[in-house]
Homo-oligomer: A and B are copies of this chain.
Amino acid sequence: MPEKNAQENCYVHGYSDRECERLADQAQTLTHLLHDDTHYPAGSLVLEAGCGIGAQTIILARNSPDAHITSIDISEDSLRRAEEKVRMEGITNVTFRQGDIFALPFETGSFDHIFVCFVLEHLTEPRRALEELRPLLKEGGTLTVIEGDHGSTFFHPENADARQAVGCLVVLQKKMGGNALIGRQLYPLVASAGYSDVRVSPRMVYVDSSRPGLVEGFTKLTFTTMVEGVTEEVQKQGLMTRDAWERGIAALNRCAEPDGVFCYTFFKATARK
């Protein structure tokens, strides 16, 4: 299954334990901001396309406890972790299934709703993925997509090395066929994939020292940790000197000081078949 392996290798953040922790921290901090307006009715059939290690799955399942959620991912390893997480949380309304988003083993019109979170950024053909998903929806069914956008990042104090370090993430993701600037593009992407009633709303994570949970949970543990996660890759590819990179990381951590500010925007799209 070459596509599966390619897909796995392309997952820019890798699958280390530290990365799994990061994803869990991120999910917790961002739960309200990203998920509070997604509730599926009792009995509805929901497809989560690309569940990864289940960070979003448990939120989805808790917010719609009487919906039936089918979560698929291309990685067997991720699915095992997701299944374990869901079992430990005592969640019983999720079924896991291995599958490729471009060749899903479901009949036309199988689902009332489809949910796609932090997946399109990793795909070479995000529009085709949305096009492939559309027939799986019943008439009038809804699509929900959530993506980040690294180019939305800004902070205080302003720092050129830190900006360049964030830019390296964009470059690396692009080299692997993904798109770290996809959040801002959700409206044209979803609309051009044939969906109607497309609505996109930005969800900015705004962090200053009056919000210590976000300083820890987002500026440091989510964002700066994610940037640090590609240190070796950036060096290997010669995208920044080691010194400049370290100054950039220090500048990002500086934004977690009492007079620092950090801003990052996710985008959430909803649409109908």
- Interface on A for B, CB 8 Å cutoff? 149, 151-152, 154-156, 158, 181, 184-185, 187-188, 191-192, 198-202, 204, 206, 208-210, 258-261, 263, 265
By a CB distance below 8 angstroms, the chain B residues around A258 are 188
A-B contact pairs, 5 of them (CB 8 A): A156-B181, A187-B209, A188-B260, A202-B263, A204-B204
Q: Which of B149, B158, B192, B206 contacts A200 (CB 8 A)?
A: B206
- Known contacts A199-B210, A204-B204; decide if A263 and B156 are in contact (CB<8 Å): no
Q: Which 7 A-B pairs have the closest CB atoms?
A: A188-B259, A187-B208, A202-B206, A156-B184, A202-B204, A184-B261, A156-B185
Min Cβ gap A182→B in Å is: 10
* Contact of A154 with B184 in the complex, beta carbons under 8 Å: yes
Cα–Cα distance between A201 and B185 once the two chains are bound (Å): 24
- In the assembled complex, the CB of A195 is this many whole angstroms from the nearest CB of chain B, namely 12
A154 in complex: contacting residue of B152, B201, B261, CB < 8 Å: B152
Decide if A185 touches B263 in the complex (CB within 8 Å).
no
Number of copies of this kind of chain in the complex: 2
**B198 & A184 in contact (Cβ 8 Å cutoff):** no
Nearest residue (CB) in B for A269 is B208
Partner of A184, one of B191, B209, B263: B263
User: Nearest residue in B to A257 (C-beta to C-beta)?
Assistant: B188
- Which residue on B lies nearest to A187, using beta carbons? B208
When distances are taken between beta carbons in the complex, the residues of chain B under 8 Å from A198 are 210
Q: With contacts A151-B154, A156-B181 known, what are 18 further pairs, Cβ within 8 A?
A: A151-B158, A154-B184, A155-B184, A156-B184, A185-B261, A187-B209, A187-B210, A188-B261, A192-B259, A198-B210, A200-B208, A200-B210, A201-B206, A202-B206, A202-B263, A204-B204, A204-B265, A263-B265
Residue on B nearest A152 in the bound complex, by CB: B154
Q: Is the CB of A261 within 8 A of B204?
A: no
Task: Tell me the smallest distance from the CB of A226 to a CB of chain B, in Å.
Answer: 19
Whole-angstrom distance from the CB of A27 to the nearest CB of chain B? 22
Please measure, in the bound complex, the distance between the C-alpha atom of A261 and the C-alpha atom of B265, giving whole angstroms.
Answer: 14
A114 to chain B, nearest CB (A): 20
Q: How far is the CA of A151 from the CA of B260 in the complex (A)?
A: 16
Report the Cα distance A187→B262, complex, angstroms: 11
- For residue A202, which residues in chain B have a CB less than 8 angstroms away from its CB? 204, 206, 263
A156 in contact with B188 (CB, 8 Å): yes
Chain B residues within 8 Å of A192, by CB: 259
Could you say which residues of chain B place their CB within 8 Å of the CB of A187? 208-210, 261
Q: Are A263 and B152 in contact (CB under 8 A)?
A: yes
Q: Nearest Cβ in chain B — how far from A147, in angstroms?
A: 12
